[in-house]
Structure 1
Amino acid sequence: MNVGAWIARFVAVEGDGPRRALWAEALGAGPAPEAAAVLDALVRQAALRDVGAGLALRALADLEGMARRVGPGRMADLLAAARDRDLDAALLVLEHPGRPRRGEELGPPPDPAVEAHTLGHRKTAARGPRSPLLERLLTDPDPRVVRELLRNPRLREAEVLGLTSRRPCPEAVFWHLARAPRWIARPAVQRAVIRNPYAPPRLALVLLVPQPDPFLTEVANDEGLHPAVRDGALRILGWRRRA
């Protein structure tokens, strides 16, 4: 199946969950070189601001979950195939560029009003109506509380942006965000993740692909970001110039 047919299938389904299932099919079935080639072509289309390809790529943001779904052996086969064929766009997604800054080293001082409650109580409050405690939970250091916050329909974009911009911030928080379709679809949230040096570089790279040229140039010049993220911005700009 060619990349156009795959994009049509991704557009035809609703929601990131069904699109993740399609990714598992695209990456997990058939010869690894063919699957890597589909991934490469789709990433390049997303880099050219193809709307359907962008929808598909957003569903791949949770690379950790996809690796568990198709299996580490299959991911290794896809990576080897992409390297053998010099599929630069597939490599942008498949290669592991290392860890971000460690968000656990120097966290914010504990909030006594939050620490007075058990984990179970904080998780329940994170799912509940707006309250002074819910607002203070936006700084909770436990990613399990953040996961519940991101599922709360009462949460506002400004609050998610504040959460996403936390420095330092545990890596797990960003992966929970990648699994929150309501929020990871928003350009402002994507850019806040990309700008945060504590975000996993693999997630930042996927989110970089459809971003506009001025933002990519800004990222490429930001010395505070992971070298792989800065290099990724330059690679995407290069694909666009050669398209």
Structure 2
Amino acid sequence: MRAHLPEEREILIIQIQEQLNELKQLSRVDSHAIEGWEISVAGNNQPPGNPPKSGWKRIGAGTHWGDGQPDWTAWFRCKTQVPKRLVQSGSFVSLHLGIAREGLISINGKPFHGISENHKTFRITEASHLKKPLRIEVEAYTEAVQHPAPKYYGKFECAEFIRVDEAIDSLCWDLQVALDVLKTHDRKSTTFQRLLEVLASAMVRLQPYPEDLSVLRSLCRKTARWLKNELKQFPANPDDG
């Protein structure tokens, strides 16, 4: 699949990204909402500290917090457990917390991961976290002062465990990395055109996405092997001259 005009190439890149985003959603084969959250607002300009002992109130998804102030700190906590139905061979479990743009997650009293605006989903790799009750605590912060349109409040968007299919997710990662690399190359280079053709061909192999998960998984494995062989043909230091 060759795109000759610059406009055609840009349209094709957008189409590939849209199809890839759809595939990423299909990799999420099951989910479980985490409920029973509590919040305790600590105030603004607070240094990192320990969870407060008082002032806890129930909070649910869709709630704004932070009292409309910049650099506001709040603590969130809940007790939960990963449902057994999410722990299956060929899949992994991720924790998704849409609580704040910035924060620090602790699980059972130990630091687990930081939250950033573009990183709110985290793979659970410790086996004990998949089997035992979890005490999740989050030290979260509202946005700092921004101009000209500041957004000072925080928002509790969602909290959930997600079962992700490994084969589909692995292909998504490979395709996204290749697409990101593609965007760094000169649009007029041979490498850019060749890589764009490979990515477009990969998506053609997958379309339309099968509704049956086992069929989609098998197709993703085959496409991943094909993609790996195609990418091996690219030199380590391509000449774009």
Q: TM-score, normalised by structure 1?
A: 0.28
Which structure has the highest strand share of the two?
2
Which structure has the highest helix share of the two?
1
- The structure that has the greater radius of gyration is 2
Using CA pairs under 8 Å that are at least 6 residues apart, name the structure with larger relative contact order, 1 or 2: 2
Q: TM-score, normalised by structure 2?
A: 0.28
